[in-house]
Structure 1
Amino acid sequence: MTQQQLFSAFFRVGMLGYGGGPASIPLIHKEVVEKYKWMDSDEFADILAIGNTLPGPIATKMAGYIGYRVAGVTGLFNALLASIVPTIVLMIVLLVSLESFREYGWVQGMTNGVMPVVGVMLAVLTWQFFTKSKEGLGTWYSLGLIVLSVVLISLAGIHPAFVIAGLLVFVFLRKGGRRS
């Protein structure tokens, strides 16, 4: 049953994760944390943070790790396969189909219509992560790290992986208890 659940969970993510890896993260969270309860939100956040520091697509890295954690090597391959097969099939079908319809307004409207939904999903996940970080670091440290991250990524042009790695080192080396 676990292998079937793994395949089903990551197949749904692969089918519905319109917009790439970042758009898939809330869907993975929904399946892994809320539906199947294979891990809690804190562990999911840790896996996401570590996964973002590594090269490659985040959805497949998370699928591989979660599949391995839930059902060993077989689970790893099962979850990876389930997450990439829909993308491969849909790319082939959609690219062939949409190429002939790309001039139509409904094709452009379809893409534009999905963007706000993806934005809301990312905003909800961001709020959940901020709430969790407040519990561990305190409100002011969390807000400070958010501001620092925005400045480094948006204004200074530093790659997010370096910012995440730096924040992980900061939190790891940080001494003391909970602050607010």
Structure 2
Amino acid sequence: MKDNNIPLGGGKTPGLGKWKLQKDLFTAFCRVGLLGFGGGPAAIPIFHQEVVRNYKWMDEDEFGDTLALANTMPGPIATKLAGYIGYKVGGKLGCLNAILACVLPTSLMMIVLIGILQKYKDISWVKNMSASVVPVVAVMLGILSWDFIKKSGDTLGWKKALTMLVAAGLLMEALNIHPAIIIVVVLIFIFFPIRRRGKKA
């Protein structure tokens, strides 16, 4: 059985191991770029599959923290995740390798295929092809969301986790507050907790 527990820090892995690590990085993020249909958020479950389950470069907690931090920063989520994870696993070369693997396949495919799709976009099978991918992406995001909810429930307690989930949903949907603002506020409360002084009776 193949051992996917590759040592972190590509620059420290001598000989062929270093290039195997870079090859694995390129393969993993190339799959993300090719299969992340629907943009950055739709690619997150594929990132999770490759980074956590397949190659085991991160555990669940570390991936969740990385995803939360990446969402607070400007720019496409896919390139931010690829750049950070590539750097963590393979150093500077790994960072460039992962970003290139994530961006290059999609860019080339768009250049080649966009004209074809525009030409035949009114054909029924092309419409059906695009529409049929949407439920699959929805299920992928639902499974990933449920994994994060379970982790939050186990860590914070289900009452607090569900309260924060409902509050975040209301703030984003009802008040149209950007998710990054909510994440930043939560991080501020975590790092700078408000101390309440209880009065003794």
Query: Which residue does 1:81 correspond to in 2?
Result: 100
Query: Which residue does 1:127 correspond to in 2?
Result: 146
Amino acid at match of 1:34: R
Query: Which residue does 1:178 correspond to in 2?
Result: none
Query: Which residue does 2:6 correspond to in 1?
Result: none
1:18, distance to aligned residue in structure 2 (A)? 0.4
| Residues paired across the two proteins, number | 176
Query: Which residue does 1:92 correspond to in 2?
Result: 111
After superposition, the C-alpha distances for 1:46-75 in whole angstroms (9 at most, x for unaligned) are 000000000111011000000000010000
User: Structure 2 stretches of 5 or more lacking a match?
Assistant: 1-19, 195-201
| 2:57 partner SS | coil
1:105, distance to aligned residue in structure 2 (A)? 1.3
Correspondent of 1:115 among 125, 130, 134? 134
TM-score between both structures, scaled by the size of structure 2 = 0.84
TM-score between both structures, scaled by the size of structure 1 = 0.94
Query: Which residue does 2:78 correspond to in 1?
Result: 59
Rounded to whole Å, the distance in 2 between the matches of 1:156 and 1:94 is 39
Query: Which residue does 1:144 correspond to in 2?
Result: 163
Query: Which residue does 2:48 correspond to in 1?
Result: 29
Amino acid at match of 1:13: V
Amino acid at match of 1:41: E
Amino acid at match of 1:96: G
Tell me whether 1:48 sits opposite 2:57 in the alignment: no
User: Structure 1 stretches of 5 or more lacking a match?
Assistant: 176-180
Amino acid at match of 1:90: M
Structure with higher helix content: 1
